[in-house]
Amino acid sequence: MLIPFLAALTLVVAQAPAPASSAKPVTVLLAPTDAARGTPRYLIGIAQEHVAEQLKARGLEVIRVEDVTRTLTKKQRTAMMRCKRTQPACIASLGAAAKTDVVMVTEVLPYLNGYKAGVRVYTAQDGAPLTEHSVPEVKKDQVMDALTRSLDEVVPITMRVLRPEPVAPPPVTPPVAQVTPQVTPGEKQPLPGPDLTPGVQPPTDLGLSDTPKVETPGRRKWAWVPAAGGVVLAGVGTVFYVQSRGKLSDLNNNEFPTLAEAEKVRDSGKRSQTIGVVGIGVGAAAIAAGALMYFLPVKQTNVQPSVTLTPQGGGLSFAGTWQ
């Protein structure tokens, strides 16, 4: 009966401590996007310079792709510039040639009535995605601000992964000095214990403790109801949230023939995201309610479950009081 509830409570996993950070600055190979696809070349150049200056201001060491390709042969340079920036093999080859920590790709692409501006960060060792951020549908004069906002998101994440802060050692508690009592020969020493009148028992021995006795509550048998319902709601919310991420991926990667179709996909993704967030939140609250019903000590309880059926669906509810 309590298996779903206990399984839901074990979903939180503690994050392992990160290794000690290094004083060496993070090196970034700044690579251009795959293709302009309608974006003016001068805008791409300005965006590259803006990102480079922002990275330097944040303490990162920037290496431009032209500085790397200048030392290669013509055949190697052509192959490197024609490889697709979203493929791990291409990113790894760029990172190996530049000997940097990460490879950052700047994107300024046409998007609906404006542009989508952002950056993508990959690890240079294997070309695996590390983090990305973009701002869709911005005007031409808003592209630089959008790139700055994207860097505000991706740079802290990159620094935490590559240069984590060292974990301070726990404080050392000094040992407690042992005090030896002084005993005078011939004197009777008092025995340790509470100062009680002879013949009077302590209150705990007479059952007069201030802690109330907890009767066996009947509400524990209903604790699985909100817990199981919370697990179901959280699962449904997760499904809708994953669907919303899929809609977002479609908007970012696909080109739609009309603006109406793109807006339809966007609205559907927003609905799925709203349902997902609400489902996960309500599910978590229901799981917490089940935990309180099961673990909190109470004297008396009166829980009444009820089932409601309507033409549009049904529901399971419970009501009760305890002291």
Give per-residue pLDDT as tens, 93-115: 888 888 899 999 998 999 888 99
pLDDT score for 216: 47
Predicted TM-score (pTM) of this structure: 0.45
Residues 86/34, Cβ–Cβ less than 8 Å: yes
Burial 188-204 (b: 16+ CB within 10 A, else e): eeeeeeeeeeeeeeeee
pLDDT score for 201: 56
pLDDT score for 56: 94
The C-alpha angle 151, 158, 49, rounded to 5 degrees, equals: 35
pLDDT score for 228: 82
pLDDT score for 14: 35
Residue range 258-292, pLDDT digits in tens:
777 778 878 888 888 888 888 888 888 888 887 77
Report which DSSP code applies to 191.
P
Low-confidence spans in the chain with pLDDT less than 70 = 1-23, 34-37, 80-81, 85-86, 167-168, 177-219, 296-323
pLDDT score for 322: 52
